[in-house]
Structure 1
Amino acid sequence: MRKIGFRGYMVIAVGILILTVGGLYFFNMNRVSPTATKKASGVQITQSTPGQYQTVIKDGRYLVSAARGITATSEPNQLDVKHFESSLLELSKSQFKPAQYIFQEGQYLTADTVTNLLARQSNDNPNGLNPEDNGKTDDSRNPTYVQTLTEQDFMSKQGNDLKLSGMVIGVAMNTQDQYQKEKYGANYTQNISDADRVAYGKKIAPKIIAQVRAQSGVSDSTPIVIAMYANSPADSLAPGGFYAEAKSSHGDTLSDWTTISDKSIVLPKEATDTSKLGSDENSGFANFKNDIANFFPNIAGATAVANFKSGTLTRLDVKVNTQFYSQTEIESFTTYVSQSALKFLPSNVPVRIVVQTANELQAILIRNANDKTFTVTVLN
């Protein structure tokens, strides 16, 4: 074995020192913490993507919400689960630009805190946002107005740390409240008027802001935007939408409320729907539906959900129900659907088409705004 002299040991030692110092420098440059006052080892941010937020990763995993899962389990209409959170993120981009802020799932309102806020007010739960149960079982009962809420945090870099620079709180308000007159009894539905919903939302908004500011790590001057969402009825084929927002720059005071026009409708429209919203889209969809039905008579039906903001179509989601059994039938039909969609459906918004039977997903067609073709995936 060849011996290493003193000079050789010195070279190795210097090399180890350089690697160690270099590694520490690399780690510190990439490490960030969730607040400016409390460091959390192993917290990083994702790479930037144009128009999208960088997000926070902790110990190699996406940093999930502290109150994760409450929205998914509490919303009566599952269409509202995704639409509520995705629409809130789009709304947030107008307040906190993706190029300037880093998105973090809510970390300040815990699951227990949110659960207590969503409950009825009582002696044991003075912070409950919903009114105390008055014992009534008819339309004079106090309904559950607030169904769920979610928190989104917006961070900015401060050296190698992340600092909380803003928050958005989405509040989903009921348009209907389902209840039972007796335990394990029949379900009843109490309608909530638009006027009552809007008024109650404005009433409890300062209380929500106060509760958020009471959490450790949230300062009295952290900008907080509160956005109000109207849930759709439980049996609706279209999700609800945001209808108002306000901002708190200090304490629990709020700016004037700004109206938001976020509405989704089902196509084809019912004959009783005489509104002008979606009239052109409805005509185009009717032509699309008739065209694909004439090509292949085994379709059981086709519907679409059209999303509008301020009266302008922003997205179209289509479902085509079939009774196909042959793989070649599915492939031929999907090809024709893509051609028909290019002819009859709007070209300036994202369009997603799902072809399915009652029990099986058969194909997915996706086209981004202004694309000339669909990306088609046929499932075996």
Structure 2
Amino acid sequence: MSCGNSSQTGSNSNSKSNSTSSSKSGSYQVTGQTNSSQYAGVIKNGKYLTSKARGITASEDSDNLMNLKSFEGGLQDISKNEFSPSKYVFQEGQYLNSNTVQNWLDRKSKSNPDGLNPASNKSTTPTGRNPIYLQSLEEQDYIQKSGNKMKLSGVTIGLAMNSVDYYRKTTYGSQYQTNISDATLEKEGKAMAKEVLARLRKKKALKDVPIIIAIYKQASNDSLIGGKFVSYSVNNGDSVDKWKALDIENVVFPLKTNETAPNSNDSNAFSNFKTEVENFFPNLSGITAQAQYKNGSLQGMNVAVTTQFYSETEINSFTQFLADQAEKYLPSGVKIDITVSSTTDGVQSFLSRSSTAKSFSTHVFGSY
């Protein structure tokens, strides 16, 4: 394998050392931080604490994998507004187990009074049935050191709401869908947030800690990008406080016909980058990018390049050329990741630049 860095400013290697605390329930350690904007994690008795309920969904028909990635990452970004990585340590959700989350995601019924999704009204028509509104629920815990102990100091709950509810009238039958408007999605999410907060406050460990509840709009199965968060509330008491609206938009470049980007300069920059790269290296299957905007301002860009290269010398040359062209054409002042993959051999190289760097760090994956 070969590694490179167009400039040392493009990488972060200031990992903080681990620290250890002990309590009656065992020994805790804190992982290092790759950079100051990321959370350190909790290790208990030498093992990382995994989530007790990660990945549980209400329906298996919703299969856009990009939703999960943007849901978890975006939820942590919201948490940073209240629980700074410099003061808090991240812990995977430990207070809602898989059975609890599954019951909450299921429909309400006589056998499952805890269901947050509405009871079935027996209708199977797209507009007549009661859809599944809540597709998944994520818990994230935030810890602070208190003396020689680790103390829970905040919790964030994400409610992933369906914009499209996919369903089948019979097992293994054809797939149908119920479209859910933005207004209905947010209304249902806010109503569920009240119930979720009330249930969490009944748990002794969660009685007094700040609890953030955020509403996420899932993207449809045919979307090339994940969904987005639409609002969140920071709650210190027993009732849901004021909601804060979020202006987030996810965009795929190149744009489709009649589509517009929040900033045409970004679209033009990507088009110029794509043209230059494709003119220089003809053996490409495609170049696309996913960009996210907050309040109309570009936050970052993930570029995917699919190649038909086979030799490592080609990949090395191409990766360095990409770094040069990306620095020349792509927007500055935002984080940009570029993944180069083969149609047959998987990821071949990776390029990354932080929002404060000028040049890209590069890594080429070799055959050994």
Same fold, judged at TM 0.5 (above): yes
Equivalent residue in structure 2 for 1:145, among 106, 116, 133: 133
Distance in 2 (alpha carbons) for counterparts of 1:42 and 1:306 = 41
Equivalent residue in structure 2 for 1:241, among 189, 206, 228: 228
8 Å contact kept, 1:72–1:81: no
8 Å contact kept, 1:109–1:215: no
In structure 2, the residue matched to 1:339 is 324
- 2:155 aligned with 1:155: no
- 2:242 aligned with 1:256: yes
Deviation at residue 373 of structure 1 after TM alignment: 2.2
Larger deviation: 87-96 or 330-339? 330-339
- Residue 135 to residue 198, structure 1, CA distance change in 2 (3 Å): same
Larger Rg: 1
Equivalent residue in structure 1 for 2:334, among 340, 349, 355: 349
- Residue 47 to residue 371, structure 1, CA distance change in 2 (3 Å): closer
In structure 1, the residue matched to 2:355 is 369
8 Å contact kept, 2:153–2:209: yes
Deviation at residue 216 of structure 1 after TM alignment: 4.3
Equivalent residue in structure 1 for 2:78, among 91, 105, 124: 91
Report the secondary structure of 1:188's partner residue: strand
In structure 1, the residue matched to 2:175 is 187
- Larger strand share, 1 or 2: 2
Higher RCO (C-alpha 8 Å, min separation 6) = 2
Distance in 2 (alpha carbons) for counterparts of 1:137 and 1:30 = 55
AA partner of residue 200 (structure 2): V
In structure 2, the residue matched to 1:314 is 299
AA partner of residue 31 (structure 1): S
In structure 2, the residue matched to 1:177 is 165
Deviation at residue 231 of structure 1 after TM alignment: 0.8
Alignment of 1:1-380 (within 5 A): 30-33=20-23, 39-47=24-32, 50-70=36-56, 76-138=63-125, 139-219=127-207, 221-251=208-238, 253-274=239-260, 276-360=261-345, 361-380=347-366
Deviation at residue 73 of structure 1 after TM alignment: 9.5
Deviation at residue 71 of structure 1 after TM alignment: 6.3
Alignment root-mean-square deviation, CA = 2.0
Report the secondary structure of 1:195's partner residue: helix
In structure 2, the residue matched to 1:24 is none
Distance in 1 (alpha carbons) for counterparts of 2:20 and 2:66 = 38
Distance in 1 (alpha carbons) for counterparts of 2:216 and 2:271 = 30
Deviation at residue 184 of structure 1 after TM alignment: 0.9
Distance in 2 (alpha carbons) for counterparts of 1:80 and 1:71 = 12
- Larger helix share, 1 or 2: 1
Report the secondary structure of 2:257's partner residue: coil
Larger deviation: 91-100 or 321-330? 321-330
Deviation at residue 254 of structure 1 after TM alignment: 1.0
The Cα offsets for residues 187-220 of structure 1, whole Å up to 9 and x where unpaired, read as 112211111101111111111111222334221x
AA partner of residue 377 (structure 1): H
Distance in 2 (alpha carbons) for counterparts of 1:249 and 1:180 = 41
Report the secondary structure of 2:140's partner residue: strand
TM-score (norm 1): 0.86
Larger deviation: 364-373 or 179-188? 364-373
Deviation at residue 320 of structure 1 after TM alignment: 1.1
- Residue 160 to residue 72, structure 1, CA distance change in 2 (3 Å): farther
Structure 2: give runs of 5+ residues left out of the alignment: 1-18
Distance in 2 (alpha carbons) for counterparts of 1:112 and 1:250 = 26
Report the secondary structure of 2:70's partner residue: helix
AA partner of residue 280 (structure 2): F
Report the secondary structure of 2:160's partner residue: strand
8 Å contact kept, 1:71–1:150: no
The Cα offsets for residues 233-261 of structure 1, whole Å up to 9 and x where unpaired, read as 1121111111101122222x111211012
8 Å contact kept, 2:157–2:212: yes
AA partner of residue 224 (structure 1): I
Deviation at residue 103 of structure 1 after TM alignment: 2.0
Deviation at residue 343 of structure 1 after TM alignment: 1.0
8 Å contact kept, 1:71–1:81: no
In structure 2, the residue matched to 1:12 is none
